[in-house]
Amino acid sequence: MPVAADAGAAVAIAGGGPAGMALALALRLKGIRAEIFEARERCAVRNDQRVLALSDGSRQILDWLGVWSSLPKTPIETIHVSQRGGFGRTVLRAGELDMHALGWVVAASDLIAALDDVVTAHGIRYRENQAVMAAETASFSLTAFAEGRVEPGAGSARDYGQHAVLCNVELADPHHNVAWERFTGEGPLALLPLGERYSVVLTCADDVVDAVKALDDAAFLALLQKRFGTRHRFVAATPRVAYPLGLRYRPNPVAARQVWLGNAAQTLHPVAGQGFNLALRDIWELANALAGVEDPGAAEVLASYARGRQTDRRGAIGFTDLLVLGFGTDFAPLRHVRGAGLLALDLVPPLRSFVARRMIFGARAWP
């Protein structure tokens, strides 16, 4: 038997994580009722150990959703990009763009808790321990898949042969709100300011990730110090977790009365922190596309949404993939080319501003 929807609910959202809850709120603010279906227990959703780097465009969206003011966050005032073993580097500064911050770093668990509180305040129905099944969504105009991953065979894929090792580290000296993106032959290393600590995203090859996770704290800190260099001294680390890295995306994020957003539409490498920011832009655009329409699942409505997302999605996917492949080798000639590119970026303010705004707001340079 199909599960009865709340009266007037038009959209079934598959996934009760941050993207699913953000979508439910965005639709509610546009006058569209939705229900959330989550296969896990609701409290388990908050147990997310990721750390998210949010762009200023994402800040504006989350502020519109009503979750920003109560959210614990650390501003990124400077981003330092460099490569180990090669010349050239570039530094992006918030002041050059007349902004308070280039972005903010938040714990995913804090963001989920803030979203959940606002979802509850709006009275949005949240069905925990209930995965979406075809019979259960028959009474909805549209099913939006907002969590999970692109299933094998559903789109294009690339296996990078890497894992991301995540943890937090304490420092001997203050970080001064500087984020680091350091490219090495073993893969990129990101340091994101989170409170007084750094959140670490250390990329490792698949065949060494278990050994890296098994290191004691002293040995892990020594490895991290070697990969990063001497500009900071790391004095303590939290337990490590690891996730496999790859690129998977649906060329077309819509089908008959179905739409895919966020990781369900495209799963990206964490380099440059594009994934969740792109998901929030998906959500913003979908809510606008569905506002005021009689049938949210109509083919022409979904096709228009998909066309509008092409440039931004392709740009973020291509940019991320290019960074991983282009900076993922120690081949000397290519290392020199990368260095020249970083140096040019640092010496040409308009180019640096363009890159920064593209990362902050997406292809259209606005949220």
Residue type, 164: A
Sorting pLDDT into bands at 50, 70 and 90, what band is 328?
Answer: low
The helix/strand/coil state of 92 is: strand
Give pLDDT tens digits for 89-123. Answer: 778 888 877 888 989 999 999 999 999 999 999 99
End-to-end CA distance of the chain: 41
Sorting pLDDT into bands at 50, 70 and 90, what band is 349?
Answer: low
* 240 and 16 Cβ atoms separated by less than 8 Å: no
Give pLDDT tens digits for 155-167. Answer: 888 898 999 999 9
For residue 46, give both structure tokens.
Answer: 């908050």
Give pLDDT tens digits for 220-253. Answer: 999 999 999 999 999 999 999 999 999 999 999 9
The reply to whether 194 falls in a domain is: no
Mean pLDDT of 321-344: 54
The reply to whether 314 falls in a domain is: yes
User: Which CATH number fits the domain that encloses residue 70?
Assistant: 3.50.50.60
Q: Which residue did the predictor score with more confidence, 152 or 174?
A: 174
The reply to whether 308 falls in a domain is: yes
The reply to whether 220 falls in a domain is: no
The reply to whether 317 falls in a domain is: yes
Count of domains in the chain? 1
Residue ranges making up the domain that contains 277 = 9-154+246-361
Residue 85 scores a pLDDT above 60: no
Give pLDDT tens digits for 138-154. Answer: 889 999 999 888 888 88
CA atoms lying within 13 Å on the CB side of residue 40: 12
The reply to whether 98 falls in a domain is: yes
Q: Which of 185, 193, 196 is nearest to 227 (CA)?
A: 185
Which CA distances in Å does 2 have to 5, 135, 278, 281, 314?
9, 5, 33, 32, 37
Determine which of 48-62, 182-196, 317-331 has the lowest per-residue pLDDT on average. Answer: 317-331
Q: Which of 262, 259, 266 is nearest to 320 (CA)?
A: 266
Residue 88: CB atoms within 10 A of its CB come to 19
The reply to whether 53 falls in a domain is: yes
pLDDT given for residue 321 in this prediction? 83
For residue 260, give both structure tokens.
Answer: 């895919």
d(CA 285, CA 309): 8
Give pLDDT tens digits for 284-316. Answer: 999 999 999 999 999 999 999 999 999 999 988
Q: Which of 262, 35, 24 is nearest to 147 (CA)?
A: 262
What is the residue whose two structure tokens read 């979508």? Answer: 23
d(CA 216, CA 221): 9
pTM over 0.85? The answer is: yes
* 9 and 140 Cβ atoms separated by less than 8 Å: yes
Residue type, 250: R
The helix/strand/coil state of 179 is: strand
The reply to whether 67 falls in a domain is: yes
